[in-house]
A and B are shown apart, each in its own frame.
With several copies, the nearest count.
Chain A
Amino acid sequence: MEKIHKPKKVFVQGPISPDFVSKSIASHQSKTTIGAHAIFLGQIRADQKDEGIVTGIEYSAYEEMAEKTFHAIREAAFAKFELTCLHIYHSLGIVPTGEISLFVFVSSPHRRAAFEASEFIVEEVKANVPIFGKELIGDKGEYVWKENG
């Protein structure tokens, strides 16, 4: 791809709302070369831990490095797959259970590229972006550090 994709703002404070997802979809309806959107949403589970039930995750990040890594993932995805658009949003701060902390939005003329790019991006984000999370437990300020498997 010769096209250069400008670094975009990925981090948002707190949860990502369904309304934000809806507005993102609507803003792609004027792009009539798109035939397929694949959307991935990460939602916070109320997991049962030894210490109690998770009530939310508090995210922090090494922000400068994370933004660079997000940009590199975007560039890699555009080079690997036939994509029209690609957006990644991730929460910082507290996201309560049931709310959304990751929104990956891939658009392509054809479904195959959209599916493959969506998976690729989610796996890359989980493995390579320096984001850290405290799983908040109960109402007395307890937590355990989260770790991607």
Chain B
Amino acid sequence: MSVHITYFGMLAEMAGQADEVWTMDEQLTVGKFRGLLLEKYPSMREKKFKIAVNQKISEDFVPIELAAEIAVLPPFAGG
């Protein structure tokens, strides 16, 4: 399966890119995705961030289906 990942704000700076596509064999959950993300970008361990799946903030247990749009969101700053 493949997922499309978008990074925002300071997390895009840490990832060195605004988006990327991951292809993998196994089924993903949000929690599992978070683990893989921190493995790839260890500097994100120090940052607070939220994960949105198909534009919805999602808890770790949520499964990520095929072709999902994943967004990695730093703290909000609107207003």
A residues adjacent to B (C-beta < 8 A): 42, 57, 59-62, 64-65, 68, 90, 101-102, 111, 122, 125-134, 145-148
Chain B residues positioned under 8 Å from A128 (CB to CB): 76
- Give the contacts of B1-29 with A (CB-CB under 8 A): 6, 8-10
CB distance from A85 to the nearest CB of B (A): 19
Chain B residues positioned under 8 Å from A134 (CB to CB): 9
Is the pair A125, B79 in contact by a Cβ cutoff of 8 Å?
Answer: yes
Given the interface pairs A62-B6, A132-B8, the reply to whether A126 lies near B75 with Cβ below 8 Å is no
Is the pair B55, A148 in contact by a Cβ cutoff of 8 Å?
Answer: no
In the complex, which of the residues A64, A65, A102, A111 contacts B78, with contact meaning CB atoms closer than 8 Å? A102
Given the interface pairs A132-B8, A132-B9, the reply to whether A62 lies near B73 with Cβ below 8 Å is yes
A91's nearest neighbour on chain B, judged by CB, is: B78
Given the interface pairs A62-B71, A65-B71, A130-B8, the reply to whether A148 lies near B77 with Cβ below 8 Å is yes
